[in-house]
Amino acid sequence: MFMAANWVTVRRYCARSFLTAVVTFAAVSTRAEGELQSIELGRCALENGEEILDCQVSFRVYGKRNEEASNIVLMPSWHNGDSKALFDYGYLGPGGIVDTHNYQVIAIDAFGNGVSSSPSNSLQVPFPEFTIRDMVNAQHRLLLEELGLEHIHAVVGASMGGHQVYEWMMMYPEFASHFVPIEASPWPTFYDYVKERGWMAALDSPLDSPQEIARVTDVISAMDTLLFWTPDYVNRELDEGTFESRFDAMRRHRSKERLIDRASQTRALLSHDIRRNREDLAKRLSRLHHISALAVVFESDMTVIPGPNLELAESLGFDVINISGDCGHFGPNPECYQSDVASHVNEFLKQGNQRHLLRRSLQFDGVSREYFVYVPDGHGDTPLPVVMGLHGLGSTATGFATSYDLNAHAKKNGYIIVYPQGSHFQGVIGDDSTVEPYLISTWNDETSNFTPTEAGPHCTDDRLKYPCPPDCGSCNHCAWTSCNDDSGFLLQVLDEVTREFNTDASRYYIVGNSNGGGMAMRLGCDHPERFAAIGVSIYQMPPGHTCGPASGLPMLHLYGEKDDGVGHDGTATSDGWIYTSAAKNTQDWAGAMNCGNEIETWRTAISEANGLICSAYTNCPNSGQEVASCMDPEAGHEWRGQRITQISASCVTAAQQESLPGQPLCPQPEASDQRWGMDLFWQFFQRYQRLP
């Protein structure tokens, strides 16, 4: 990263007089804010086997530490930038990308910038080549050995500073809670190699005369201008005065010392690749599935190509914010999109991506289908329970996760939660031809698209019309769900999750909402051997399609007394749809399990606190198993107690944005102790393990 105007003059320290101070951690907190400080590390061993003698790392501190020292953020400098420029250009500071009202920022000068150990300020000739990993190792030594820090809140960096963030993530993933690479990359593209090779072709020229230095300065300045901005931005924003006067403002590397320092950092960029020389790469990456990271990239960036961020993010499950506009690599600057970047980063630093999702896809029946997995951190090698969460009609997998804040519950209670995506298409419910088509997503619970039974029709003649899913070909009058083999798809998802993650196969559960509740019952009826218990919210099977498991499978059923979407008393809803009564739905499930006919009042602390009216079949062959049903007098067709009504269930997180680009992006849910809906199911689930 380089600044567009008022170019920062990097202070050059002569060897030995370069020593500002050797400081202790206590001394750091007593220095004036932003004062340059340096620490001698002795010898710094490098990847290539050489050493930097009299190795020094410089830094500045901005903001105040809180009492717990839990608000410390490390911010490495960008290519040829320094720690002061991070403050001067708003990357840190009051209201900055990292807001020093909330965080104490240690701004680090990277090797080769003329402030920390560099060719220009060292007596060591030739100065050894170093890498991004060498920079990170020295920074880790500074924080751990000299400043006494064993853990920090976050590492945040832009451009080459972001490359350092990626290496921090690989080398010391437990040292920071969060990682934010901005306009950086985990590895280079071919385009990146070409760009950096071009820089080095100029920088490797002899610098033995003022004329040669001027020539190299012109070549580097021209390349920078072509790479840092888009042509539209350059022509619009930089075309003031004569060409010579404007181009002269681009000439930042006017001395031999500046050019050899830049060459040293450019060589580090050429070797940057988190995959390089790591035979254990797969193992390292598998340990990062829990990583809390947020990448920010810029669509028009020609200096660091955004693509590899998206590839790594999909593998590890973190979000990538892709900002459009024509500022190119200067997107984080105050004259461009800094306020947007600051908003995203500071929101992330408050909450992290505790709610981040891993995207997975598989081929089933010749079609690529996707699902998402949240794995809570901090559980080491302990096998975790698995909850499969099934969304309702019109929802997305990640919208269901977000609008019910289920990942936060999984993190708090230590289970893996899996969100498969139902079949979907663009359509309209009803007969209004002026309405733009929207997302229709459903599950085939093998009831709604079948011929009505002797128990009666599924709908009235004048029912609200639902579109026929394309995968069905044709539909009967009361049909509305997918015709795909969703049971087969979901069982394959479970198989994939079992293979990839450390799970406790005796504690697999399902929670389904609305149409997802019907799908949960279908899986439970047909494959009870795969699950320990299921939870169904706001759904009953259509007439004649109630079912139950051939072997014991406890179920907790929750429905709303005011529900006019899926009725609970066996009569038609106002839209003309007919469902079995909640009482019969539960009775038939218990009957399939050979439970006794007696039904008892059922209470828990959560049901009592929230006014639920519950009953249960408790006299079942497998001791302790129950089939319980709770009516919520205050609920309509909604999972009250868990739903965040301000967030649309049809939104998508960044993990699903590429596959459903037309859906709105989900906002981050706010933390809350008031949600009890999933607590009700989880306390029921915890009582059960699948019997051998």
Residue 205 and residue 178 share a domain: yes
Q: What is the pLDDT of residues 357-406, one digit of tens each?
A: 888 999 999 999 999 999 887 676 789 999 999 999 999 999 999 999 99
Exposure letters 106-129 (e unless 16+ CB within 10 A, then b): bbbbbbbbbbbbbbbbbeeeebbb
Q: How many CB atoms lie within 10 A of CB 430?
A: 11
What is the DSSP pairing of strand 98-99 with strand 176-182?
unpaired
H/E stretch holding 161: helix 160-171
Residue 62 and residue 201 share a domain: yes
Residue 353: predicted pLDDT = 54
C-alpha separations of 451 from 459, 499, 525, 539, 635 in Å: 12, 38, 20, 20, 31
Residue 425 and residue 308 share a domain: no
Considering the domain boundaries, does residue 691 fall inside one? no
Q: What's the whole-model pTM score?
A: 0.61
Residue 384 and residue 333 share a domain: no
**pLDDT exceeds cutoff 60 at 194:** yes
Query: Total structural domains in the chain?
Result: 2
Residue 260: predicted pLDDT = 95
Considering the domain boundaries, does residue 1 fall inside one? no
Considering the domain boundaries, does residue 549 fall inside one? yes
- Residue 495: what are its φ and ψ, rounded to 5°? -60, -45
CB 104 within 8 A of CB 65: yes
CB 328 within 8 A of CB 229: yes
Residue 692: predicted pLDDT = 67
Distance separating alpha carbons of residues 252 and 219, to the nearest angstrom: 12
Q: What's the domain range around 431?
A: 358-685
CB 630 within 8 A of CB 613: yes
Residue 241 and residue 365 share a domain: no
DSSP state of 367: E
- Considering only CA atoms, which of 22, 284, 25 is closest in space to residue 144? 25
Residue 96: predicted pLDDT = 95
Distance separating alpha carbons of residues 510 and 505, to the nearest angstrom: 13
- Considering only CA atoms, which of 320, 358, 325, 199 is closest in space to residue 264? 199
Considering the domain boundaries, does residue 457 fall inside one? yes
Residue 345 and residue 372 share a domain: no
Considering the domain boundaries, does residue 260 fall inside one? yes
Full 3-state SS string of 555-610: EEEEEECCCCCCCCCCCCCCCCECCCCHHHHHHHHHHHCCCCCCCEECCCHHHHHC
Residue 300 and residue 407 share a domain: no
| Cα torsion 566, 568, 571, 574: sign | negative
Whole-angstrom distance between the N-terminal and C-terminal Cα of the chain?
A: 59
**pLDDT exceeds cutoff 50 at 15:** no
Domain termination residue (choose one: 351, 385, 414): 351
**pLDDT exceeds cutoff 50 at 17:** no
Residue 245: predicted pLDDT = 72
Domain termination residue (choose one: 285, 316, 351): 351
Distance separating alpha carbons of residues 424 and 439, to the nearest angstrom: 7
Considering the domain boundaries, does residue 2 fall inside one? no
CB 93 within 8 A of CB 100: yes
**pLDDT exceeds cutoff 60 at 219:** yes
Across 248-252, 315-319, 594-598, the highest mean pLDDT is recorded for 594-598
C-alpha separations of 597 from 455, 593, 623 in Å: 22, 11, 15
Helix then strand count (H, E) for the chain reads 20, 22
Specify the CATH number for the domain of residue 515: 3.40.50.1820
Q: How many CB atoms lie within 10 A of CB 152?
A: 23
**Alpha carbon 671 to chain centroid distance?**
16
Distance separating alpha carbons of residues 448 and 81, to the nearest angstrom: 63
Query: Could you tell me the two tokens for 193?
Result: 């190699």
Residue 409 and residue 452 share a domain: yes
Q: What is the pLDDT of residues 531-566, one digit of tens each?
A: 999 999 999 999 999 999 988 999 999 999 999 999
**pLDDT exceeds cutoff 70 at 18:** no
* Residue type (1 letter), 338: Q
Residue 380 and residue 330 share a domain: no
| 14 vs 407, residue with greater confidence | 407
Distance separating alpha carbons of residues 390 and 401, to the nearest angstrom: 9
Q: How many CB atoms lie within 10 A of CB 400?
A: 25
Considering the domain boundaries, does residue 445 fall inside one? yes
Residue with tokens 């070909």, as numbered in its chain: 473
Q: What is the pLDDT of residues 624-651, one digit of tens each?
A: 899 999 999 999 999 999 999 999 999 9
**Alpha carbon 538 to chain centroid distance?**
29
Residue 378 and residue 284 share a domain: no
Residue 362 and residue 336 share a domain: no
Question: Who contacts 62 (Cβ-Cβ below 8 Å, separation ≥6)?
Answer: 33, 34, 87, 92, 93, 100, 104, 105, 107
Considering the domain boundaries, does residue 14 fall inside one? no
Residue with tokens 């419910």, as numbered in its chain: 429
Q: How many CB atoms lie within 10 A of CB 307?
A: 14
Residue 341 and residue 366 share a domain: no
Distance separating alpha carbons of residues 58 and 73, to the nearest angstrom: 16
At how many degrees (to 10) do helices 256-271 and 132-141 cross? 100
Domain termination residue (choose one: 319, 351, 383): 351
Residue with tokens 């751990």, as numbered in its chain: 144
Residue 291: predicted pLDDT = 81
Q: What is the pLDDT of residues 581-604, one digit of tens each?
A: 999 999 999 999 999 999 999 999
Q: What is the pLDDT of residues 71-96, one digit of tens each?
A: 999 999 999 999 999 999 999 999 99
**pLDDT exceeds cutoff 60 at 3:** no
Q: How many CB atoms lie within 10 A of CB 287?
A: 12
Q: How many CB atoms lie within 10 A of CB 600?
A: 14
| Cα torsion 152, 153, 155, 158: sign | negative
Residue 653: predicted pLDDT = 87
